[in-house]
Amino acid sequence: MRFLKQLLDFYINSSIHVALAVLALVKITQFIVGIEADYVAVFFAFFGTVVGYNFVKYNALARTQKWQMGRQLKAIAVMSFIALLASGYFFFQLQRNTKIIGIIFLLLTLLYTLPFFPNKKNARNWAGIKIYIVALCWVGVTLVLPIINAEIKITSDFYLKCIQRFVFVFVLILIFEINDIKKDDPHLQTVPQQIGVKQTKRVGSVLLLLFIILEFLNKNLNFSTLLLKTGIASIVLLFLLFAHENRSKYYTSFWVESVPILWWLLVLLFG
């Protein structure tokens, strides 16, 4: 059991799980817009997420040298380096316009992580802005990037999908913020810190309702897609309602982040 727990911890701590969630959303995007066999965007998103998330999580510790690299961290460092090479390889296979999109979200990640201005905190520590940057990056990587790379014509439905994806990711992050309310620096001014846990759950519930309502504005409204999104929104709602600050880290880092993967599997089965 101890070995299995260590394996699970490595799987989560090395950002493989969150990268699979990103990959799942990219595949969902490709399915709903009819993109076939574009594995470049998929693998770029996967490996880029591993690198980006590990950079965000471990960069500050590495720069301040306040840690000692144990066996697991060394393994994560090696895996992150391999992922960096892989993401670089797939980056150069992307279309020119997609590369520009990728660079924009790379800069957002760096802004989120590194203090660019003297005596200033990075964007991750700017009061109240963290959730918007993260949600925006997820929309860019999982929706904008694969559509631009496939040279799909941009229509009003594209912007509708962007809003829907932003709302979906935003609510997932709200669950993380509720779970981490005791651990987060009060200066972060996360949504639960600003309005309280109960009000955050109300906001998240309304946003999930908006997520479903937006589907009715889709020009190619499909009943099975609507039903599937309603089911996924219901699962997220349950995670939101049962979230509290004393939950295990696995509640969010494994189960909540599994929702996009579940969504993708359901799309494969019933889409």
pLDDT at 105: 82
pLDDT at 38: 86
The model carries a pTM of 0.91
pLDDT at 99: 92
- In terms of Cα–Cα distance, which of 141, 190, 153 is closest to 22? 141
- Residue with the bigger pLDDT between 172 and 134: it is 172
- Burial class, 99, CB count within 10 angstroms (exposed 0-12 / middle 13-18 / buried 19+): middle
Which tens digit of pLDDT belongs to each residue from 149-198?
999 989 889 999 999 999 999 999 999 999 988 887 777 788 999 999 99
Give the confidence band of 117 by pLDDT, cuts at 50, 70, 90.
very low
Give the confidence band of 208 by pLDDT, cuts at 50, 70, 90.
very high
Tell me: pLDDT of 142 over 90.
yes
Interval 237-246 mean pLDDT: 94
Residue type, 62: A
Q: Is 198 helix (H, G, I), strand (E, B) or coil?
A: helix
Q: Is 115 helix (H, G, I), strand (E, B) or coil?
A: coil
Degrees to nearest 5, angle at CA 1 with 262 and 4: 45
Contact 183/192 with Cβ under 8 angstroms?
Answer: no
Would you put residue 34 in left (φ > 0), alpha (ψ -120 to 50) or beta? Answer: left
Degrees to nearest 5, angle at CA 77 with 71 and 80: 140
The proportion of the chain whose per-residue pLDDT surpasses 90, expressed as a percent, equals 59
Interval 243-271 mean pLDDT: 93
Tell me: pLDDT of 116 over 50.
no
Contact 35/51 with Cβ under 8 angstroms?
Answer: no
Which tens digit of pLDDT belongs to each residue from 70-80?
777 888 889 99
Q: How many residues does the chain have?
A: 271
* Tokens representing residue 237 in the block: 């709602």
Looking up tokens 């846990």 gives 197
What is the enclosing helix (H) or strand (E) of 176? helix 156-179
Give the confidence band of 259 by pLDDT, cuts at 50, 70, 90.
very high
pLDDT at 127: 53
Q: Is 206 helix (H, G, I), strand (E, B) or coil?
A: helix
Average pLDDT, the chain: 87
Contact 197/178 with Cβ under 8 angstroms?
Answer: yes
Which tens digit of pLDDT belongs to each residue from 72-106?
788 888 999 999 999 999 999 999 999 998 888 87
Give the E-state strand segments of 74-207 in sequence order: none
Backbone CA torsion sign across 14, 15, 17, 19 = negative
The proportion of the chain whose per-residue pLDDT surpasses 70, expressed as a percent, equals 89
* Tokens representing residue 6 in the block: 């260590």
Q: Which residues contact 90 (CB under 8 A, 6 or more apart)?
A: 40, 43, 44, 47
Give the confidence band of 68 by pLDDT, cuts at 50, 70, 90.
low
